[in-house]
Amino acid sequence: MIQIRKFECLSLVVVIFLMNIVPHETVQGLYWLEEEDTKLVTINLIPGYKSCNEDSITISDVEYRVWSPYNSKIGAALTKGLKTLPCSSGSKILYLGIASGTTASYLSDIIGKAGLIYGVDFSARALRDLLPVAEKRRNILPILNDARKPEQYASVVEAVDMIYCDVAQPKQARLFLDNAKMFLKTKGQSLLAIKARSIDVTASPEKVFEKECEELLSNGFKILRSLRLDPFQKDHMIVHGFFT
């Protein structure tokens, strides 16, 4: 995977690590950077601009951004083996709980200039940090609102190809279902990042995950894959699926 070449110059031995970029097996716009450690990367939509103080590397005049699994739940899921990311160039995404936009910036790279992310968050402080990222990237639309009340931003958000729900709320499944009913296209798919401790701190994470998944299933949501995110994101699970 990693090629190492040694060049001897008098008494000096120089070791050069040759880095290699490999497209992700199934996700368009995603790549593996093969060096000392294999890392997930995307091509920077805005070369030279750092959206979240991320590491980056330029190879053959292309700038790649390292997607850390410790800073992003989707990044953690992909690193742990999630094979499907239901978005590609030109996709429209509703992001519930966008916060300062770390994960959104990588989705922004993948959907490109033809795509759009509707980023909903209740925190004015978080959206203040998101604004400079959105202004640079131009495919992120910040929306200061409560994701529990989708009717309040229904005049702004169009039908979307994907919903990503990362909202620390006790009734996260219900919140997601209400938004999906209003905005998700018929063949659209969704990802939910379930944080067990935000839903019920007294119950075991396994019980919380089971209860949330049961509510999704009882409302016609078909789960394609569920994946624990430990050790990158403690007591978190990613759920991927669609409505039947």
Task: Give the pLDDT confidence score for residue 35 in this predicted structure.
Answer: 79
Sign of the torsion angle spanned by Cα atoms 145, 148, 153, 158: positive
Based on the fold, state whether residues 152 and 47 are members of the same structural domain: no
What is the model's pTM? 0.91
Q: How many domains does the chain have?
A: 2
Based on the fold, state whether residues 147 and 49 are members of the same structural domain: no
Range of the domain at 187: 73-243
Which tens digit of pLDDT belongs to each residue from 44-88? 999 999 999 999 999 999 999 999 999 999 999 999 999 999 999
Does the pLDDT at position 157 exceed 60?
Answer: yes
Based on the fold, state whether residues 62 and 163 are members of the same structural domain: no
- Looking at residues 35-43, what average pLDDT do you find? 90
| d(C-alpha 75, C-alpha 242), whole Å | 20
Instruction: Tell me the residue type at 224.
Output: L
- Which residues partner with 21 through β-bridges? 33
Q: Are 105 and 95 in contact (CB under 8 A)?
A: no
Q: What percent of the chain has pLDDT over 70?
A: 93
Does the pLDDT at position 15 exceed 80?
Answer: no
- ∠ CA 176-166-81, nearest 5°, is 110
Does the pLDDT at position 147 exceed 50?
Answer: yes
Based on the fold, state whether residues 58 and 88 are members of the same structural domain: no
Instruction: Tell me the residue type at 178.
Output: D
| d(C-alpha 165, C-alpha 242), whole Å | 13
Does the pLDDT at position 7 exceed 80?
Answer: no
Based on the fold, state whether residues 18 and 120 are members of the same structural domain: no
| d(C-alpha 195, C-alpha 207), whole Å | 12
Does the pLDDT at position 18 exceed 70?
Answer: no
Final residue of a domain: which of 66, 89, 111? 66
Q: How far is CA 182 from CA 22, 65, 220, in A?
A: 38, 33, 15
| d(C-alpha 156, C-alpha 167), whole Å | 20
Q: Which two tokens stand for residue 197?
A: 């401790």
Q: Which two tokens stand for residue 77?
A: 């899921």
Based on the fold, state whether residues 104 and 208 are members of the same structural domain: yes
Based on the fold, state whether residues 39 and 82 are members of the same structural domain: no
